[in-house]
Amino acid sequence: MNNPTALPISIRGLTKKYGDLNALNSVDLEIKSSEFLTLLGPSGSGKTTLLMAIAGFNRPDAGSIKFGDAEMVLTPPHKRDVGMVFQSYALFPHMTVSENIGFPLKLRGLAAKEARGRVDEALATVQLSGLGDRAIDQLSGGQRQRVALARAFVFRPRILLMDEPLSALDKKLREHMQIELKQIHRQLGVTTVYVTHDQREALTMSDRIAVINHGELAQVDTPEAIYNRPKDQFVADFIGESTMLSLTRGGDGRLSFGSEIISSSSPNPSVLKWSLVVRPERLHLLERDVNTSEKQVVFRGHVKEYVFQGETGFALIALNDMTILSVRFGTGARSRIRLLELGALVSIGLMREDIILIPEEGQM
Amino acid sequence: MPVSPDIERSMLNGQELKSQKKREEWVLLGLSLPAIFVIALVVILPVGWLFYLSFVDGHGSFSLEHYQKMVEYKSYARVFIATFKVSALTTLICIVLGYPIAYFLAALPSRWSGIFMLAVLLPFWTSLLVRTYAWLVLLQRKGLLNDLAIQIGLWDSPVKLVHNMTGTLIGMAHIMLPFLVLPLYGAMKKIEPDMMQAASNLGASPVRAFGSIYLPLSISGLAAGSLIVFVLCLGFYVTPAVLGGGRVVMVATQITAILEHQFNWGAASALGVVLLLATVLVLYLAGRFFKFDTALFGKR
């Protein structure tokens, strides 16, 4: 649902230094109204710094943050009217669940009766109806998370910020909450900026993902585009599993790995060195040894190791030049790869549509 | 009698484990004996003796004479009122001075808060008597404070700052301040910084956030510190005796006076007993309003 009161966020030239460290290096980012955008990066990448700057909790050295047309960079946090879910939830321990959720409404001078209705509505949205009179320390981790969320959206902010809100939950509950958060976002239609270091979480929830590293945006794209068409080695490496194979360039511009031709021409002639990104689940075991064709590239090697991980597993295949390729396989009865002996010679196919080429590091 | 294998399993090593547990309990009890002995020796015996003396008249027989006098003579009531007044005022001054200090300490990064905490605790390391006489020097007619105030034109002629209530309060507040700051600092340290961020994010101005979030979350520490200060003040002797100059008569100074001038152990003991009971009453009433173990030891 598109929420007419949701606001786009426009960030320009945002810079923040901590001593010599560039926490944010002239970041430009346009977040669309009603969008669910995730800031994804390793710890220390600047993702939290960026979120805190949007919330107004840290003062950038330079730059502009606009909500709609209004410049916010000088506005104190309590006048920004953005909801935020903190990593620790930051629930007030001396207030009940209802008092916590009602706090922003009280600050906005809502009549008690209307406020109570809004609190009940918010409790229903996060499926905590009837728990309003509980003390905070009587709640489980998952319930606290929901209260923190309800408190962040109950005053109908135009922007919702979340700082790794699910990181304290166990895996099952976390995966359940990911879907639930996504549904609540769709229901509220509020522009949402979500911070996580968990790439799977980012892929699950986001309309778009902004991958951030060393205070700079590496790539801003849809989950599919980030996964299938990573722009550089960092993105390819950080999102999903991958093996990087260095390619050689022939005189006619052809890119090949060993004797197999990967691409007949370079995607960008000015870039000399290219790598092939191989996703383990995009590889498949071939029944018969065939040659590289128009349809697929074929690698040959020996099975070195099996790892069983439940729903899937992977095999490590040592190619002739001793490069190790990881092949992910299903673990059902039809999975033939598990029946192979260690050391067996196998042929592995990669469909040409699944080929991902990235420039090698340091020559963009 | 043959035992079924199931029962045998359920009692495997049962006797030995039980007696091991018993042995451990006896050892623990044995280890705490010295402490129990010392407490009996230095607390229960003297206090019991105090009670006994307060119920015995000059001829060695049981009497309520001392307590009767306390009710009859207005001077006793005045002493108790003065004691509670000085204690309450000292506590109030400590709250006004101590809250900002504790807030400042809690807000500092830890390497700095250590240094400033040292400054708060420094007075603990010098003798109480030395500190009290130092105030006497500072506050007297020709003392440092009067000289300075006259020089910068605060007042024209020396003001009487000592041997009265003013001097007593200044001295006592100085000595009691750390007792308020420490538990308060502890309570404030436990307030997560994101509490205030959350309040401000939800729309609370800094003043509002302080009033609705920070103050309620630090109030248990404030209450604990205030209670410690108040109770310590009730039985305080040295500072009111030296800086009060005989004009501020609290229970402890009155007890000394009775012993020095009348050598009346019974009357002095009765005063002590009433003060002790008053203190216990204060602690009990306060305990009903606040959970101090949480504030002092941080357990739930």
Together in a domain, B20 and B169: no
Q: In terms of CA atoms, which chain B residue is nearest residue A55?
A: B201
d(CA A47, CA A39): 6
Using alpha carbons, select from A234, A233, A235 the residue that is nearest to residue A246.
Answer: A233
Tokens 């008569």 belong to residue = B249
Looking at the complex, report in whole angstroms how far the Cα of residue B193 sits from the nearest Cα belonging to chain A.
9
Q: Coil, helix or strand for A135?
A: strand
* Residue B276 forms part of a structural domain: yes
Together in a domain, B49 and B81: no
CA angle B280, B284, B288 (to 5 degrees): 170
Tokens 């700057």 belong to residue = A53
Together in a domain, B158 and B264: yes
* Residue B19 forms part of a structural domain: yes
Tokens 């101005």 belong to residue = B205
Q: Please list every residue in chain A whose beta carbon sits closer than 8 Å to the beta carbon of residue B208.
A: 107
Residue A346 CB neighbours (<10 A)? 18
Task: Say if the Cβ atoms of A88 and B209 lie within 8 Å.
Answer: no
pLDDT at B101: 94
Considering only the beta carbons, identify the residue of B195, B201, B204 that sits closest to A84: B201
pLDDT at A100: 96
Together in a domain, B151 and B12: no
The whole-number average pLDDT for the span B105-129 is 86
Together in a domain, B236 and B178: yes
A90 neighbors B194 (Cβ within 8 angstroms): yes
First to last CA, chain A: 39
The total number of residues written for chain B in this structure = 300
* Residue B215 forms part of a structural domain: yes
Q: Please list every residue in chain A whose beta carbon sits closer than 8 Å to the beta carbon of residue B193.
A: none
* Residue B61 forms part of a structural domain: no
The total number of residues written for chain A in this structure = 364
* Residue B121 forms part of a structural domain: yes
pLDDT at B298: 45
B42 touches chain A (CB under 8 A): no
Spell out the per-residue pLDDT of chain A, length 364, in tens. Answer: 456 778 999 999 999 999 888 899 999 999 999 999 999 999 989 999 999 999 999 999 999 999 999 999 999 999 999 999 999 999 999 999 999 999 999 999 999 999 999 999 999 999 999 999 999 999 999 999 999 999 999 999 999 999 999 988 888 889 999 998 999 999 999 999 999 999 999 999 999 999 999 999 999 999 999 999 999 999 999 999 999 999 988 878 888 898 888 888 878 878 888 999 999 999 998 888 888 888 899 999 999 998 888 888 899 999 988 899 999 988 888 777 767 788 989 999 999 999 999 998 765 4
Q: In terms of CA atoms, which chain A residue is nearest residue B215?
A: A94
Local structure of residue A214 (DSSP, 8 states): T
pLDDT at A364: 47
CATH number of the domain enclosing B134: 1.10.3720.10
Ranges of H-type helices in chain B = 5-10, 14-39, 45-54, 65-72, 74-107, 110-121, 128-139, 144-151, 165-189, 193-201, 206-209, 215-234, 238-243, 251-257, 265-289, 292-297
Q: Are strands A9-18 and A345-351 parallel, antiparallel or unpaired?
A: unpaired
Q: Please list every residue in chain A whose beta carbon sits closer than 8 Å to the beta carbon of residue B199.
A: 78, 92, 103
Together in a domain, B40 and B91: no
pLDDT band for position B37 (cuts 50, 70, 90)? very high
Question: Helix count (H) and strand count (E) of chain A?
Answer: 8, 21
Q: Please list every residue in chain B whose beta carbon sits closer than 8 Å to the beta carbon of residue A76.
A: 200
* Residue B65 forms part of a structural domain: no
Considering only the beta carbons, identify the residue of B195, B203, B206 that sits closest to A90: B195
pLDDT at A287: 84
Please state the separation of Cα A45 from the chain's center in Å. 13
Together in a domain, B3 and B150: no
Q: Please list every residue in chain A whose beta carbon sits closer than 8 Å to the beta carbon of residue B217.
A: 92-94
Share of chain B above pLDDT 70, in %: 94
Together in a domain, B29 and B83: no
**DSSP conformation letters of B28-96:** HHHHHHHHHHHHIIIIIHHHHHHHHHHTB-TTSSB--HHHHHHHH-HHHHHHHHHHHHHHHHHHHHHHH
pLDDT at B299: 41
Which residue of A91, A107, A138, A144 is the best one to mutate when testing the B interface, meaning the one whose CB has the most B CBs within 10 A? A107
* Per-residue tokens: B200: 């401000």
Q: Coil, helix or strand for B287?
A: helix
A332: exposed, middle or buried (Cβ count in 10 Å: 0-12, 13-18, 19+):
exposed
Which residue of B195, B196, B202, B217 is the best one to mutate when testing the A interface, meaning the one whose CB has the most A CBs within 10 A? B202
B200 touches chain A (CB under 8 A): yes
Using alpha carbons, select from B201, B237, B242 the residue that is nearest to residue A58.
Answer: B201
Task: Say if the Cβ atoms of B198 and A86 lie within 8 Å.
Answer: yes
The whole-number average pLDDT for the span B235-257 is 89
Number of domains making up chain B: 2
Burial B235-267 (b: 16+ CB within 10 A, else e): bbebbbbbbbeeebbbbbbbbeebeeeeeebbb
Segments forming the whole domain that contains residue B261: 74-297
d(CA B25, CA A37): 61
Q: In terms of CA atoms, which chain B residue is nearest residue A151?
A: B202
* Residue B68 forms part of a structural domain: no
First to last CA, chain B: 52
Together in a domain, B153 and B263: yes
Together in a domain, B251 and B190: yes
* Residue B62 forms part of a structural domain: no
Using alpha carbons, select from A51, A298, A70, A285 the residue that is nearest to residue A152.
Answer: A51
B255 neighbors B271 (Cβ within 8 angstroms): yes
Q: In terms of CA atoms, which chain A residue is nearest residue B200?
A: A78
Together in a domain, B205 and B249: yes
Together in a domain, B41 and B79: no
